[in-house]
Structure 1
Amino acid sequence: MFGAERTRTLLGPVDPARNIAVAPPLVSARDLIDRAGATESAVGHRRVRPTRRLVLAAGTLAVAAGAVAVLQPFEEADTSDVPGAAAGSVLVPVAYQFDSDPPAAGPQLRALAGALVDTEYDNRSGRYMYHHTKLWGDPVMTSADGRHHVAFANETKVWQAADGTGNQVTVQLEPQYPDQESRDYWRRNLGKGPAVAGTPAPATVPLPPRALTPPSADRSQLRELLKAAYGAGAVSKEVSTIYGRYVVPRQTRAEILRVLADVPGFRWRGQVTDRAGRTGVAVTFDDRPHDAQSLLIFDARTGELLAHERLTLAPVRISSYKVIIATDWTDRLG
């Protein structure tokens, strides 16, 4: 028994995620190792001397489960002429309206909950829940010294019925970096970032049956589902999971905001622009002991979650992000 199952067995009844079914990662550790290996092959006839190891940190869940892989060492060489190598882009943190001394988020969240309007999917129905998301940061490839990071952005479309069946289509996008230093490092060590030979074909995966229970609008049930007893960091993650899995009706969206309003630690950041260029309102939670900040961006009219991000605080840089580009009901299986 290895990985997540072993960890859950050791934690037993104190595991806060013991009743949660964990979906497989969008990109496996094996995939990233293969991509790094493809880069090594692209160097051609240069001899590569093993002087540095690269560690693959597979995101928050995988790290908790002890899943860490070591990549084949690479020599620090000039590989700028590698054909098809992709430089990628540097991620910039979202700019907050209230950057310093933000007020407590409770009053603003309650006001938002009381004024929600319908979104387009509130007046539609269909066999499948449809979600279109973009994700970066799980897993992340990290240098041996822990300083330099890179991950591939992935765009995913999911059609899922009430019994869990459906299809998931994932497209690998460009590599992205949390800072310029990481970008420069990976350009030196893996050519111009991890090798990407054009745009990989979309990967289509059929989804197996699973128990899916849409979130209730009952406040006490929502508090339990969102793990409110474990604090704002846990709540942020669960809100992101719910909106990425279900088509959430207006009444439930309002109650989610009210639950957040009652959880200590959320700060109001005001109007922001997400990574898809949409205007929303944001709340954050600073987890100082773990040098981390959670960011949630909501539509100011409908209360839909637009994005969830995780940042480090010193220095401030992106650890992961999820952008929910579209949510809907449909009878069409993509």
Structure 2
Amino acid sequence: MFGARRTRTLLGPADPARRMPPEPPRLSAAELIAWAEATAEPNTPRRGVRRDARLPRRMVLATGAVTLAAGAVAVIGASGVLVDVERGPADPPGTAAGRVLVPVAYQPGTDEAAGPRLRALADGLVDAAYESSAGRYTYHRKQVWGDPVMTSPDGRFSVAFSQETKVWWTPGEPGRQTTVMGVPEYPDQASRDHWASRQPVSATASADAIPLPPFEPAALPSTRRELARMLKTELGAAAVGKETSKIFGRYAVPRAIRAEVLRVLADVPGFRWRGEVTDRAGRAGLAVTFDDREHGQQHLLIFHPRTGELLASELLTLGPVRMNAYELILETGRTDRLG
């Protein structure tokens, strides 16, 4: 059975993803099986319970089995209408293992079209810290949660482990990636109670380091039209939010291009200005959101208030609100040192 690295090596120039930095590695089969065995419960779904087909990448736990489903959760209230709910504070740094995640809080009344604010931010940007550094390798350190997710057989209760990844890459040369498994985190208190009432979910802290094969990344566009194409503006705000996260998570984006990214976002209908917020790493930022009513989701982007760097992104399900996924971009830099 071929692994991703061997497959990409065999494909060589024919690999359609050769210009893109590799995604973080998935959990091993042994880890998935261990989780399933540790949290197994009888596979007896209640009558009348239907599992939504559009779940994120999930491990649906039944006795001795792990299955995956792709897509996105869409949870609508009984009335079929999405309603606003009061939000809690962001998770402070150092919160104990097994925490229940709450959405990043933003100030009441900060609900206006984001365009003018994003353009003003773009006009006043200063250099990011990495723009005064030099080196062969682009470096990112990120923390992610929400892929994959362990889910109970009825689809109601979930848990996932945070992961910290570090990636070093340079065009046309081998790179390096390390991944450290973090603590279990839950989208709601009911999920935490569910797993605790059976067998507490735990994992031994582990680190994994892998070499990355050489690849030729696509150059960042320098014009707004080209950036709009890369950000997939024709697909709407949800796609633009996702592609914005990819750009800032892969490149050390120069100030001029950061400004153009913000101006592209300003022209996309649907983004709302949410003002000053504090992200999960305790950093001050400026937030915008997009409510995807069709799929019952909200997309959140948090930018540095002076440099315009993307600090964090989140995906929530609405009605009721609960965490779906988050990503923190903790460091971006350039270095001559691999690892």
TM-score, structure 2 normalization: 0.78
Aligned pair in 2 of structure 1 residues 241, 120: CA closer, same or farther (>3 Å)?
Answer: same
CA distance in 1, matches of 2:177, 2:41: 40
In the alignment, is the contact (CA less than 8 A) between 1:59 and 1:138 conserved in 2? no
CA distance in 2, matches of 1:148, 1:283: 29
Q: 1:27 Cα deviation (Å)?
A: 2.7
Amino acid at match of 1:311: L
CA distance in 1, matches of 2:182, 2:244: 25
How many residues are matched?
287
**Do structure 1's residue 88 and structure 2's residue 94 form an aligned pair?**
no
Aligned 1:16-95 pairs, distance under 5 A = 23-28=22-27, 30=29, 32-37=31-36, 39=38, 50-52=42-44, 60=56, 62=57, 70-73=60-63, 88-95=98-105
Residue 255 of structure 1 aligns to a residue whose secondary structure is helix
Is the helix fraction higher in 1 or 2?
1
Amino acid at match of 1:332: R
Aligned pair in 2 of structure 1 residues 308, 34: CA closer, same or farther (>3 Å)?
Answer: same
Q: 1:49 Cα deviation (Å)?
A: 6.9
In the alignment, is the contact (CA less than 8 A) between 2:231 and 2:240 conserved in 1? yes
CA distance in 2, matches of 1:159, 1:27: 18
In the alignment, is the contact (CA less than 8 A) between 1:104 and 1:268 conserved in 2? yes
Instruction: Tell me the residue number matched to 1:195.
Output: 202
CA distance in 2, matches of 1:305, 1:271: 14
Q: 1:182 Cα deviation (Å)?
A: 0.5
TM-score, structure 1 normalization: 0.79
Amino acid at match of 1:259: V
Aligned pair in 2 of structure 1 residues 70, 140: CA closer, same or farther (>3 Å)?
Answer: closer
Aligned pair in 2 of structure 1 residues 22, 313: CA closer, same or farther (>3 Å)?
Answer: farther
2:179 is aligned, of 150, 157, 170, to 170
Deviation per residue, 1:217-243 (Å, 9 max, x gap): 210100000001100000000000111
Aligned pair in 2 of structure 1 residues 322, 87: CA closer, same or farther (>3 Å)?
Answer: closer
Q: 1:165 Cα deviation (Å)?
A: 2.5
In the alignment, is the contact (CA less than 8 A) between 1:109 and 1:260 conserved in 2? yes
CA distance in 1, matches of 2:213, 2:131: 27
CA distance in 1, matches of 2:21, 2:29: 18
Q: 1:141 Cα deviation (Å)?
A: 1.2
RMSD of Structure 2 on Structure 1 (CA): 2.6
Q: 1:214 Cα deviation (Å)?
A: 3.1
Query: Identity of aligned pairs, percent?
Result: 52
Q: 1:18 Cα deviation (Å)?
A: 9.6
Q: Which consecutive unaligned segments of at least 5 residues does structure 2 have?
A: 1-15, 46-50, 65-95
Instruction: Tell me the residue number matched to 2:4.
Output: none
In the alignment, is the contact (CA less than 8 A) between 2:126 and 2:255 conserved in 1? yes
